[in-house]
Amino acid sequence: MYKRMIAISLLLTILSCKNTLSVTEKRDLVNEIDAMGKIDQVAAYIPQGKYANYSREKWNTFKDSVMADNTKKAELLYKKYGYLGFDKVGEKGETQFWAIVQHSDKSVDFQNKVLKSLKKEVSKKNASPDNYALLYDRIKINNGEKQLFGTQLEYKKNGQAIPKKGLIDTVNVDNWRAKYNLEPLKKYLNFMTERNFNMNKNILIKEGITEPVFYK
pTM higher than 0.75 for the full model?
yes
3-state secondary structure of 161: strand
The one-letter code for the residue type at 191 is F
Is the CB of residue 170 less than 8 Å from the CB of residue 159?
no
pLDDT exceeds cutoff 70 at 165: yes
Contact 135, 80 (CB under 8 A): no
Residues 114 and 158 in one domain: no
DSSP 150: -
Query: What is the count of structural domains for the chain?
Result: 2
pLDDT digit string, tens, across residues 134-148:
999 999 999 999 999
pLDDT band, very low/low/confident/very high, at 19 (cuts 50, 70, 90): low
Domain-located, residue 108: yes
Residue type, 93: G
Cα–Cα distance list, 125 to 60, 122, 199 (Å) = 37, 5, 35
Please say if the pLDDT value at position 9 is more than 60.
Answer: no
C-alpha angle 212/214/216, rounded to 5°?
155
Q: Is residue 205 part of a domain?
A: yes
At residue 13, the pLDDT reads 45
In a domain, 139, yes or no: no
- In this predicted structure, the answer to whether residue 1 has a pLDDT above a threshold of 80 is no
- The reply to whether 165 falls in a domain is yes
Same domain, 112 and 191: no
Domain containing residue 77: 20-127
The predicted structure's pLDDT at residue 8:
46
In a domain, 13, yes or no: no
pLDDT at residue 130 above 60?
Answer: yes
Confirm whether 133 is domain-assigned.
no
Q: How far apart are CA 98 and CA 89, in angstroms?
A: 11
Question: Do residue 111 and residue 156 come from a single domain?
Answer: no
- Of residues 68 and 19, more confidently modeled: 68
5 pLDDT higher than 90: no
Same-domain check for residues 191 and 121? no
What average pLDDT does the segment 188-209 reach?
A: 96
Give the helix/strand (H/E) hosting 131. Answer: helix 129-142
Same domain, 150 and 84: no
Predicted confidence (pLDDT) per residue in 101-113, tens digit: 999 999 999 999 9
Whether 140 is covered by a domain: the verdict is: no
206 in the same domain as 161: yes
Task: Please give the share of the chain, as a percent, with pLDDT higher than 70.
Answer: 91
Average pLDDT over residues 114-139: 98
The pLDDT of residue 121 is above 50: yes
Q: Label residue 46 by pLDDT band (50, 70, 90).
A: confident
Residues with Cβ within 8 Å of residue 127, at least 6 apart in sequence = 83, 85, 86, 94, 98, 118, 121
- The set of residues, in sequence order, having a beta carbon less than 8 Å from that of 121 and lying 6+ positions away, is 83, 85, 127
pLDDT surpassing 60 at residue 34: yes
Which residue among 96, 127, 158 closes a domain?
127
In a domain, 202, yes or no: yes
Contact 166, 143 (CB under 8 A): no
Last residue of a domain, one of 95, 127, 159: 127
User: Does residue 174 share a domain with residue 93?
Assistant: no
